[in-house]
Amino acid sequence: MFEKLKQAVCDANIELQRQRLVIYSWGNVSGINRKKGIVAIKPSGVRYDELTPDKIVLLDLQGKIVEGNLKPSSDTPTHLELYRNFKSIGGVCHTHSTYATIWAQACMEIPCFGTTAADYFYGEIPVTEPMAKEEIEQDYELNTGKAIVKRFKTIKPMHMPAVLVANHGPFTWGKNPDAAVESAVILEQVAMMALGTVTINPNSNQIDNVLLDKHYLRKHGKNAYYGQK
Amino acid sequence: MFEKLKQAVCDANIELQRQRLVIYSWGNVSGINRKKGIVAIKPSGVRYDELTPDKIVLLDLQGKIVEGNLKPSSDTPTHLELYRNFKSIGGVCHTHSTYATIWAQACMEIPCFGTTAADYFYGEIPVTEPMAKEEIEQDYELNTGKAIVKRFKTIKPMHMPAVLVANHGPFTWGKNPDAAVESAVILEQVAMMALGTVTINPNSNQIDNVLLDKHYLRKHGKNAYYGQK
Amino acid sequence: MFEKLKQAVCDANIELQRQRLVIYSWGNVSGINRKKGIVAIKPSGVRYDELTPDKIVLLDLQGKIVEGNLKPSSDTPTHLELYRNFKSIGGVCHTHSTYATIWAQACMEIPCFGTTAADYFYGEIPVTEPMAKEEIEQDYELNTGKAIVKRFKTIKPMHMPAVLVANHGPFTWGKNPDAAVESAVILEQVAMMALGTVTINPNSNQIDNVLLDKHYLRKHGKNAYYGQK
Amino acid sequence: MFEKLKQAVCDANIELQRQRLVIYSWGNVSGINRKKGIVAIKPSGVRYDELTPDKIVLLDLQGKIVEGNLKPSSDTPTHLELYRNFKSIGGVCHTHSTYATIWAQACMEIPCFGTTAADYFYGEIPVTEPMAKEEIEQDYELNTGKAIVKRFKTIKPMHMPAVLVANHGPFTWGKNPDAAVESAVILEQVAMMALGTVTINPNSNQIDNVLLDKHYLRKHGKNAYYGQK
């Protein structure tokens, strides 16, 4: 019944490695069937070249395992919190990709320095607040999700399909698992360019709102005119 | 009739990916048949591994589609403006390659720090002026072309086959589509080296005009003595 | 008798090259059979694509060659000193991997800037004291080992499977040769990210001890809950 | 008669590309038969994948072509000047490899920050003086060689098989064409690490002379003990 979802989640996880966003088992992608309320996610600690659709774990939105013999990713409670709160998303991705993690470690938002970012991210990439002692010690992964949701109080998730968890790394999302990985690839590229930009010119400015609107809306929304549709 | 042109444009677009100047569909190359006044360009949003010559779009210099079922690249008006104004060029290329884009995002010209640059670019790589609100909101891609043409008022396009569009990324050109891509590859290399140069020594100087002349003219013009011709 | 050990050491050395941690013959991995007190190590100056298990050299813990026609790695006395003092380790790895070596050359410890590091290294990566003139001139490689052991007086080797030898490069270790190489791969990634972090924000702080504990202990020790065991 | 030399020079040139030290035709390697006084060098502007031994050009030490239908590398006068003055060398290599060129463009010597450099280069990598107007305009490539030779007045070429030509890029050498390329590969690695080192710590010091001696002499000279000989 969920074969297609499991295949899509398996493929998206393998794509993480192909795109060089992960080494070893450092990353995970999930997908959701909204109608059934079922989430499919990578098993914990399994390497990408050993991953097959039958190893993908199925859970309901409260975290109860519905199918699968392996433990789900230890980051599962973060994914579930995102699905519960961001109703428009269909896939979630977590990596420790080099440049996005660098910005997360510096606890700094990635400014929108150019149209490359503006084509996908409607503004600067947000970073979460550091978590409190008790949020770390108890239900850490759930609280990571809560920190993200809190940071998005005034941001629309589908306008900003990425966040940096402070001192940790990026989570990204999209309409499906594939799109979540695409967000992660583009975030990494944007993060790399932003590092270079501040290296050359520490006083670089974010792009003008007019240019941001132009590029973002050229690709998204009802007046989009990029691509074949 | 334009089969050869379409093949050349298709090949040059695929070369962008092979040279790692683009990810997804972030870039486009065009070529022109000057006698017929026909431009061939990549379709919008199509990925490089799905590109075949029959998908290449043909237009006249005013932008009227002459052949092709797909929408041309959204950057087409920029390409056409360059062809209309730079009579000596035969191919145009646009990418968001990492290091060239970094300099474009910093809104800084790339100084001519060494003979690697001087072999191809006769001076520092120019950056356009930021565009005005109304230039962005209306006919944005055409105005991008106009901003480039304006910046080249006193520069010969074939002496400087590259420009950085402020807050955006590079456009390059050459005598044909292949040469436009070669300019993009070399620009990326030059941009990377220039970033390293200012990192080590922020007070690095541009090379002397005598050395610039020596290297540029060793490869270009009637007294060139590099290569087999 | 030691065929399995020699195979594991050979494979781990070849993995160094596959992981792009070494060029030419710049690196070596060893493993130990603790019951027999026998160490297997790469021969000196042999390239990885010419390496076969029968070329691996066997020595006792005092450095007496037990089997093998080739000279062992010139770094052998360092490896042996580590095995003699760090009773819990089963494999040792030495490379000149780019980013770890950069920190070693800067004679700076790598701060624990994020959870990527905290998952594997329980705190900042230590750097040894510079060696004295006489320690360099006589028994240099043995004294390199002693400098490491001295630096670890108050650090548990299995909590911190990596060290930077000042002005030189990293040594890493683990429960077996494979794990020693894995430590080297992760150290390199952590070192690269740390360089980027201080580039963006020179005042970046190390992560909180609560977060360090959470991540390190999530993967290590009796309460670990990452992975399938 | 010179088939072996031509093959070695051809292979060494192709190795430049395999090692990613060059793009397009940016680099050249030569070799010399000292007994006959014959130099073999890459033809000018030919790409590496089209290179075959029969295209290699043979010249005497005064630059007279002895065999070959193609024009020799435009850098040939530099190579010949090095062979005439550095009697101990058997191969010369020129590239625009990224990190070595960055230091050359910054007109800064590469400090000896660690044992990675000390294993191959006996001290800091020298940079030439900028050339005078008339040296550039007339016999430029010959004068490039003279600038290198002048810089080496008090340096033994076989102790320091590399130089940075100011605002240009590296020349390296060795006992044969292969060794000249190996010097270029290692120089690139050393240059990359040195850039990272000054990025982290601009006050990084060169290594102590005792450590320099230890590492350099561990691999070179009559008391060397690295490798199998």
User: Which ipTM did the prediction report?
Assistant: 0.95
From CA B20, how far away is CA B14, in angstroms rounded? 10
What tokens were used for A95?
């990596």
Phi, psi of C4 (to 5 degrees): -65, -40
C225 tagged catalytic? no
Residue tagged active-site, from C49, C54, C119, C216: C119
Helix, strand and coil content of chain B, in percent to the nearest 5, comes to 40, 15, 40
Residues 6+ apart with CB under 8 A from B171: B78, B82, B92, B93, B94, B148, B162, B163, B165
Phi, psi of B31 (to 5 degrees): -140, 160
Interface check C51 vs D, CB under 8 A: no
C200/A137 CB distance under 8 A: no
B204/D102 CB distance under 8 A: no
A208/B105 CB distance under 8 A: no
Instruction: Look at strands B169-174 and B162-165 and give their pairing.
Output: antiparallel
Distance from CA of C56 to the nearest CA of D (A): 13
- E strands within chain B? 27-33, 38-41, 57-60, 65-67, 91-95, 162-165, 169-174
Domain ranges of chain B: 3-220
The C-alpha angle with vertex C116 and arms to C114 and C117, in degrees rounded to 5, equals: 75
Closest CA to B44 of A229, A227, A219, A225: A227
DSSP letter for each residue of B69-106: SSPB-TTHHHHHHHHHH-TT--EEEEE--HHHHHHHHT
Helix, strand and coil content of chain D, in percent to the nearest 5, comes to 40, 15, 40
D25 vs B226, residue with greater confidence: D25
Residues D116-141 have pLDDT tens digits of 999 999 999 999 999 999 999 999 99
pLDDT at A130: 94
Helix (H) or strand (E) holding D165: strand D162-165
Supply the mean pLDDT for chain C. Answer: 96
Residues D55-76 have pLDDT tens digits of 999 999 999 999 999 999 999 9
Contacts of C198 in chain D (CB under 8 A): 200
The type of residue at C9 is V
The type of residue at C22 is V
Q: Which CATH superfamily groups domain C3-220?
A: Class II aldolase/adducin N-terminal domain (3.40.225.10)
From CA C168, how far away is CA C150, in angstroms rounded? 17
pLDDT at D62: 98
From CA C32, how far away is CA C37, in angstroms rounded? 7
Phi, psi of D60 (to 5 degrees): -85, 175
pLDDT of C229 strictly over 80: no
Interface check C169 vs D, CB under 8 A: yes
- The residue-averaged pLDDT of C197-224 equals 92
pLDDT at D219: 87
**Number of A–C residue contacts, CB under 8 Å:** 84
pLDDT at A103: 98
Among the residue ranges A104-108, A160-164, C215-219, the one predicted with the least confidence is C215-219
Residues D151-184 have pLDDT tens digits of 999 999 999 999 999 999 999 999 999 999 999 9
DSSP letter for each residue of C183-224: HHHHHHHHHHHHHHHHHH-TTPPPPPHHHHHHHHHHHSSTT-
Residues A112-149 have pLDDT tens digits of 999 999 999 999 999 999 999 999 999 999 999 999 99
pLDDT band at C222 (very low <50, low <70, confident <90, very high): confident
What tokens were used for D210?
């005792």
pLDDT at D157: 97
How many of the other CB atoms lie within 10 Å of CB of C168?
Answer: 25
Beta-bridged to residue C110, according to DSSP, are C125
Which chains contact D through at least 3 pairs of Cβ atoms less than 8 Å apart? B, C
pLDDT at D224: 84
Q: Where are the alpha helices (DSSP H) in chain A?
A: 3-18, 76-85, 98-105, 115-118, 133-137, 140-151, 177-200, 209-219
Q: Are C174 and C89 in contact (CB under 8 A)?
A: yes
pLDDT of C39 strictly over 80: yes
pLDDT at D1: 79
pLDDT at B121: 97
pLDDT of B38 strictly over 90: yes
Interface check D104 vs B, CB under 8 A: yes
- The residue-averaged pLDDT of D34-53 equals 96
Supply the mean pLDDT for chain B. Answer: 96
Helix count and strand count (H, E) for chain D: 8, 7
B214/D74 CB distance under 8 A: no
Beta-bridged to residue B148, according to DSSP, are none
Please name the residue of chain B whose CA is at the shortest distance from the CA of residue A217.
B137
- The residue-averaged pLDDT of D195-203 equals 96
Q: Are C205 and C183 in contact (CB under 8 A)?
A: no
A122 tagged catalytic? no
Supply the mean pLDDT for chain A. Answer: 96
Among the residue ranges B8-22, B187-201, B208-222, the one predicted with the least confidence is B208-222
Closest CA to A179 of A155, A154, A162: A162
Closest CA to D168 of D134, D206, D136, D123: D136
Give the burial class of C70: count Cβ atoms within 10 A of its Cβ; 0-12 exposed, 13-18 middle, 19 or more buried: middle
Residues C143-189 have pLDDT tens digits of 999 999 999 999 999 999 999 999 999 999 999 999 999 999 999 99
